[in-house]
Amino acid sequence: MSQRIAAKITGVAGYLPPRVVTNADMEKIVDTSDEWIRTRTGIRERRFAEPGMAASHMGTEAAKKLLADRGVNPEEIGLIVVATVTPDMFFPATACLIQDRLGASNAWGFDLSGACSGFLYALTVAAQFVGAGTHKKALVVGSDVMTSILDFTDRATCVLFGDGAGAVLVEPATSDTEGIIDFVHDVDGSGGCNLYMPAGGSLHPASHETVEKRMHYVHQEGQQVFKYAVRRMSDLACEVLQRNGLSSRDLSLVVPHQANLRIIRAMQERLGMDDSKVIVNIDRYGNTTAATIPLGLKDAVEQGRLRKGDLVLLIAVGAGYTTGAILMRWAY
């Protein structure tokens, strides 16, 4: 059964730190090669935030640009949901820091931890409040400073990620021909052990030992995550299309999470879609975790690849495991 939400995206913006780090630069940090990174992942370069730039700073920049582009006063925002696995601190929430910097004096908000599916979780949650009529304008932000939790002695993970932020504005849909048609989310906690940051939480609070054992960094069983992502991205896409009586031929654009170009191409092949209908920017940004999908939407808008009425699929799989697919008619 499909689950329509009477809410639509009415604006999108992104922020990328200026420092570009190429694969050649990564060769100077770990024992890797441009050829390995390009052929195994599709990544050519990524952005690194300078020290002192946190998730809230990047998220604020993206949100400020979004509000300026759309001519929206910060005081009109009722809700701010921030997806991140690299919050500035455990508390206060990154959403509070962004609310303050924006001057969004009428907003409440919170952070949401859904890793690479985080932005889609946040979008579904915010859209529910807008669809229910509780808020007229909600901000959804995905922001991650992945470099703050990368082990730069582990070549299998540090080459994969980059830093960035994206934000969308969510407003009520005024007809059935626009906005969110359906969404699917699920969690498979049995996969938690394949992608995680062991320390820093209540299980292993920071100590000399956790630092010495490099437990404050991303740990990943790459092949396990890869297999799960390939299978679930394709299954989810088919499921959400089928239950709405649609096929991949009806899609104008897919904006997938950017973890690995091979994962994206595998899903694309199963859907039988050509490259022109699938957003890929992993080559330039790497995996920015909660920011990949809003940055994908930003690129799609800038490249003129989204038009009012287009059927769009947003899709992600991430740590947890977490998954999400949101099907929508683009509204502007």
Q: Does 318 bind ligand ACO (CB under 6 A)?
A: yes
Binding residues among 238-277 for ligand ACO as defined by CB under 6 A: 259-260, 263
Stretch that binds ligand ACO, among 33-41, 67-75, 96-104, 130-138 (CB under 6 A): 33-41
Count residues near ligand ACO (CB under 6 A).
24
CB of 154 to ligand ACO, least distance (A): 8
Q: Does 156 bind ligand ACO (CB under 6 A)?
A: yes
Q: Does 116 bind ligand ACO (CB under 6 A)?
A: yes
Using CB under 6 A as the criterion, what x/- string covers residues 163-202 for binding ligand ACO? --------------------------------x-------
Q: Does 225 bind ligand ACO (CB under 6 A)?
A: yes
Q: Which is nearer to ligand ACO, 246 or 266 (CB)?
A: 266
Q: Which is nearer to ligand ACO, 5 or 82 (CB)?
A: 82
Q: Does 229 bind ligand ACO (CB under 6 A)?
A: yes
Do the Cβ atoms of 70 and 101 come closer than 8 Å? no
* C-beta nearest to ligand ACO: residue: 222
Stretch that binds ligand ACO, among 74-82, 171-179, 219-227, 307-315 (CB under 6 A): 219-227
Q: Does 14 bind ligand ACO (CB under 6 A)?
A: no
Q: Which one of 40, 44, 219, 277 is in contact with ligand ACO (CB under 6 A)?
A: 40
Q: Which residues are catalytic?
A: 116, 257, 287
CB atoms within 10 A of CB 139: 32
- Mention every residue, 6+ apart, whose C-beta is less than 8 A from residue 51: none
Nearest CA-CA partner of 187 in 220, 141, 236: 236
Q: Which is nearer to ligand ACO, 20 or 30 (CB)?
A: 30
Q: Does 92 bind ligand ACO (CB under 6 A)?
A: no
Interface contacts to ligand ACO, rule CB under 6 A: 32, 36-37, 40-41, 115-116, 155-156, 159-160, 195, 222-223, 225-226, 229, 259-260, 263, 287, 289, 318-319
